Structure 1
Amino acid sequence: MTDWFSKLQNAKKTCLVEKNLKKVHYDFGDGKELVEEYDLTTNCIVRRAWKCSKGLKDEGSWEIEVGDPEPVYNAEEKCMIRENVNQPFVTRRITKLNLEWRIRNLPYPIDVYSVSIDKESHSLIIKTTNKKYYKKLLVTDLERLDIELEQESVTFSHKFNTLIITYKKPKKLLEFERALMEEVKKVKPKSFGEGVNECKPS
């Protein structure tokens, strides 16, 4: 189908099912690992995380692409470290028909925002007319499949100090997701205690 689909097909895959989630771990054999968590009711990805190891002794750290970020803890003080709670931050979600970004802590009214596309970099550009906020969001799902962004697929709304940006999935992405789900169904889940840690970013 695509180079990215072939790479996922050829990766070493393990998975486990926990409650209503199916967690699939991909090992690409080049130091890169991917974990995707699927809601078994909707078959939508609720979390996607990457780990890149640079050498034998480098464990690497997990980078969250989809889903809420992992909390960071201070081991000495045994408390969670947080950035300024008033600073804007982005979380990503995926629904059956849309890609979605939520930028929290943006108190400005809806008419100050603009969301435009940058086809060359596969990005969404968020600006405010009051010049208080600027953000460039890479649309990784489309970049991997070499799908061009289209402005008419972008909508956005604002409520509860949160800017919600929605991108309607193109047909090619929907077809890719259906094909990938068929591949995911072929991966037999492991039992607890049988390589469970392979599927859990930490």
Structure 2
Amino acid sequence: MKRRSNLIEVDGDNQDSFEQILKANLSKIYKQSEMYKNTAWYRSIVDAEKSCLKEDKIKKIHYKFDDDKEMVEEYNVDTQVLLRRAWKVKGKLGGDGKWVVEIGDPIPEATPTIEVADIVESKDQPIVTRRNTRVNLEWRIRNLPYPIETYSISANNDERCIIVRTTNKKYFKKLQVPELDRLGLQLEQGNIQSSHQFQTLIIMYKKPQPLLDMEKEWFEELKKVKPIKDMPSDCKTQ
């Protein structure tokens, strides 16, 4: 029995053409993966004045932007995961203002401010907190006792948010996704997963590749910011 060879012979000209196409495609993929560098968000954090404080396995970065806004980030040095991001918001009555948490647990206040002194939050009300892992953006909504089949969770690109509602019409919430907005990325329904335990609804959104690429590179960039001994006192308390 004769054996037939399936090898395809490629002459010199065709091989050069194939290599050129391959290089062009790889270059296109590389440029797409770094499109985040052209966003206003990336340019703003690059240009921001930065200082660093390292405590054990936690690295804290304080940013001061050109528009006088301030931001603090906390990273786990071992996992390279962002644990907390908070923005300094000026108070309505002036003064230094307070820190508003975007990612991580809320910052406990020793004494209520004048602005919130008259507002008492019920312990039974649903409370939303943000988490961040290496591969997912997470929201945890506590005090939701309904079973998992009660919840409808949908990506809404018209309103640029994830909408959570219950079939019994007892809960409705719009969850903003600033990480995607800053990079100009669309929400994908297929990236959403959820679970429910201990009266807590956990919503996970799989990070798209451009966000993963940016986070990886930015952590490397932050290594260039040398830790200092002294940092603004309000940053140390975050």
TM-score by length of 2: 0.77
Q: Aligned pair count? A: 195
Higher normalized helix content (fraction of residues): 2
Deviation (angstroms), 1:29:
2.8
Which residue does the alignment assign to 2:206?
A: 168
Number of the residue aligned with 1:78 = none
What's the CA shift for 1:196? 4.7
Instruction: Determine helix, strand or coil for the equivalent of 1:186.
Output: coil
Which residue pairs with 1:26 in the alignment?
Answer: 63
* Residues 15-34 of structure 1: per-residue CA shift (max 9 Å, x gap): 10012100000000312100
| Equivalent residue number for residue 217 of structure 2 | 179
Q: Whole-Å Cα distance in 2 between the matches of residues 52 and 131 of structure 1? A: 33
State the distance in 1 between where 2:141 and 2:166 align: 13
Aligned to 2:16: none
The residue number in structure 2 matching 1:44 is 81
Structure 2 counterpart of 1:125, from 134, 139, 163:
163
* Cα distance change, pair 118–201 in 1 and its aligned pair in 2 (3 A): farther
Partner of 1:65: 102
* Alignment pair present for 1:143 and 2:165: no
Unaligned runs of 5+ in 1: 76-80
Shift of 1:200: 3.1
2:121 aligns with one of 66, 70, 83? 83
**The one of 146, 150, 157 aligned to 1:112:** 150
> Radius of gyration: which is bigger?
2
Asked if the contact 1:16/1:196 (under 8 Å) is kept, the reply is no
Give the Cα separation in 2 of the matches to 1:187 and 1:199: 16
Aligned pair 1:159/2:197, yes or no? yes
Give runs of ≥4 in structure 1 deviating > 4 Å.
Answer: none
The alignment's TM-score, normalised by the length of structure 1, stands at 0.90
Gaps of 5+ in 2: 1-36, 113-118
Give percent identity, aligned residues only.
50
Name the Cα RMSD after superposition. Answer: 2.1
